[in-house]
């Protein structure tokens, strides 16, 4: 990552800018009771909420606008005086919300900011740090939606950070001209580079909030969980975190099983960038950089703009990296939900008579009959249930199961595997009412926010949330989720693959839906060989 000499000189001048700044610095170090604190770019002051301090909208990089659109994130510039950190920054331009029912938020390309929830602390405290990476399919998402507020986790003695990063065309556009201007001869993956830059900022600055830069846990859901998987695979992220939590997302299926998968590699991703340029009528990269964000967003939403295996940020596919034991080897907690696939069927008609032919028009088009035998479709009801199960298993279940097996097989650090099967209460007018234990269902429990859930919680729901917060924060503290008052959670091992089930009770059980996962595994194993040369790196 580039570091500007000018930015370093300016930061140095601020640190030595006179008695007034030194006095404020003394107040910062004195305690975590409300005074401004110093980060590398200057002094900031946040808000006090109950037992923690909240700092909103802290820049960890320069605004990626103008000439910095589609470049690696650059270090934030220093400021003078005290910067008020009491307002969330805008989110990256996008269409829709990453979680149904989430409030609309201001949008801007100037979106590289993070938020911190820190318990009031004493001098010398070194609290574990939990860094949240939001989901949203790489095209939507927010670090500031109320669901992700870190107050309840911070109340358990951790510092919580939520990170804003670029999505869609602004975060993942590759283009031949961009690759030529890059010192690494690659482009795209800017959203992942944003996450890495945020982790570097946290390593340098989190001590000011009472955090321990050597006890950082990255955690995320959906595309955020996929980010965790990719960061465990990226050499650029090595040493920036010491634990990892993945909720409902991984990146292990072979590209050969994905229709039109060439966009997952640099050359194909660059072709997608050229297609965007053509549709926008831009003559050059310079023209693209001058276009309004809204124009780019309208066209980009119809193109596959995701991460790519570029040889730099992602030298290899995670399956290859983990299989060889080359991952960033840290304790891992991961799992998925019982009805993940249901939300993806909203508005989709599933009929027994057209079950197979309908799949041919989906990302599951290449799945063979040998696998579909495990998803029967004799009646319309059975066909709908099987389609939902297929969505669950292909999108989430198999990746999580494979991630756990690979880490257990080639890593030294422990794995803790969960299955969330508790049906949350929903209101009659809730968009979640037909989803059962769908995608996102665990999030209000993990963050402890019943007011953000789509129904009135019972005492059972509150108890489950308390337990999950306990497991998650224990894991952040020690790399092991177990602790007093919690049912024992055994580590997952290949010879005894035990999973903790969160249901009406918390209990240890087997891997759910394992017959279906094994059938998919056989198919993916065949799809992975023989791999084309450019996909085996």
Question: Would you name the residues annotated as active-site residues?
Answer: 222, 340, 439
Read off φ and ψ for residue 456, nearest 5 degrees. -80, 125
Partners of 216 in beta bridges: 129
CA–CA distance, 388 with 358 (Å, rounded to integer): 13
Between the CA of residue 65 and those of 5, 106, 112, 454, 472, what are the distances in Å?
20, 16, 11, 37, 36
CA–CA distance, 251 with 459 (Å, rounded to integer): 36
Partners of 415 in beta bridges: 332
Closest CA to 65 of 219, 292, 256: 292
Question: Taking a C-beta distance cutoff of 8 angstroms, is the pair 83, 113 a contact?
Answer: no
Tokens 């799809």 belong to residue: 527
Q: What is the three-class DSSP state of 323?
A: helix
Tokens 């358990």 belong to residue: 156
CB-based burial label for 488 (10 Å; 0-12, 13-18, 19+): exposed
Question: Taking a C-beta distance cutoff of 8 angstroms, is the pair 129, 476 a contact?
Answer: yes
Between the CA of residue 230 and those of 145, 327, 535, what are the distances in Å?
24, 9, 16
Q: Residue 473 gets which letter from DSSP?
A: H
Q: CB atoms < 10 A from the CB of 435, how many?
A: 26
- Token pair in block for residue 271: 């072709």
Which residues 6+ apart lie within 8 Å of 13 measured at CB? Answer: 78
- Token pair in block for residue 491: 């580590």
Between the CA of residue 461 and those of 104, 419, 439, 471, 472, what are the distances in Å?
27, 16, 17, 15, 16
Closest CA to 214 of 477, 448, 504: 477
């Amino acid at each position: 990552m580039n570091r500007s000499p000018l930015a370093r000189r300016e930061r140095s001048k601020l640190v030595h800018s006179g008695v007034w700044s030194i006095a404020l610095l003394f107040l910062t170090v004195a305690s975590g009771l409300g005074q401004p604190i110093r980060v590398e770019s200057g002094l900031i002051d946040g808000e006090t909420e109950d037992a923690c301090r909240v700092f909103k909208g802290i820049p960890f990089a320069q605004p990626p606008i103008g000439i910095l659109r589609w470049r690696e994130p650059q270090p934030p510039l220093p400021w003078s005086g005290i910067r008020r950190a009491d307002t969330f920054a805008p989110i990256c331009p996008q269409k829709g919300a990453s979680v149904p029912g989430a409030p609309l938020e201001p949008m801007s390309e100037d979106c590289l900011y993070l938020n911190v929830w820190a318990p009031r602390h004493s001098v010398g405290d070194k609290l574990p740090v939990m860094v949240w990476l939001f989901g949203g399919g790489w095209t939507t998402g927010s670090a500031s939606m109320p669901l992700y507020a870190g107050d309840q986790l911070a109340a358990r003695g951790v510092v919580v950070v939520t990170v804003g990063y670029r999505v869609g065309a602004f975060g993942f556009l590759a283009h031949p001209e961009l690759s030529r201007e890059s010192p690494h001869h690659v482009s795209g993956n800017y959203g992942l580079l944003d996450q890495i830059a945020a982790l570097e900022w946290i390593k340098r600055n989190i001590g000011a909030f009472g955090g321990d830069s050597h006890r950082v846990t990255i955690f995320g859901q959906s595309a955020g969980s996929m980010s965790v998987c990719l960061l465990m695979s990226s050499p650029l992220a090595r040493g920036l975190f010491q634990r990892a939590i993945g909720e409902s997302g991984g990146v292990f299926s072979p590209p050969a099983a994905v229709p039109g998968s060439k966009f997952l590699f640099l050359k194909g991703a660059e072709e997608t960038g050229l297609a965007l340029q053509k549709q926008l009528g831009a003559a050059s990269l310079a023209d693209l950089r001058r276009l309004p964000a809204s124009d780019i967003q309208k066209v980009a939403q119809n193109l596959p703009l995701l991460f790519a295996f570029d040889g730099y940020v992602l030298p290899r596919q995670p399956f290859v990296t983990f299989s060889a034991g080359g991952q960033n080897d840290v304790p891992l907690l991961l799992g998925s939900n019982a009805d993940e696939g249901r939300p993806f069927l909203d508005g989709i008609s599933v009929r027994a008579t057209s079950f197979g032919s309908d799949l041919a028009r989906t990302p599951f088009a290449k799945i063979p009959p040998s696998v579909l035998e495990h998803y029967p479709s004799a009646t319309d009801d059975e066909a709908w249930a099987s389609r939902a199960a297929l969505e669950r298993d292909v999108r989430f279940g198999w990746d999580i199961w494979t991630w756990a097996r690979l880490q257990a097989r080639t890593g030294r650090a422990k794995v803790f595997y969960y299955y969330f099967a508790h049906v949350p209460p929903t209101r009659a007018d809730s968009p979640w009412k037909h989803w059962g234990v769908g995608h996102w269902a665990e999030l209000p429990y993990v963050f402890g926010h019943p007011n953000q859930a789509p129904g009135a919680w019972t005492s059972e729901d509150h108890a489950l949330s308390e337990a999950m917060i306990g497991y998650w924060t224990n894991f952040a503290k020690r790399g092991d989720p177990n602790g007093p008052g919690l049912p024992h959670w055994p580590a997952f091992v290949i010879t005894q693959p035990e999973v903790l089930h969160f249901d009406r009770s918390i209990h240890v059980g087997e891997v759910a839906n394992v017959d279906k996962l094994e059938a998919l595994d056989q198919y993916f194993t065949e799809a992975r060989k023989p791999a084309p040369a450019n996909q085996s790196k």
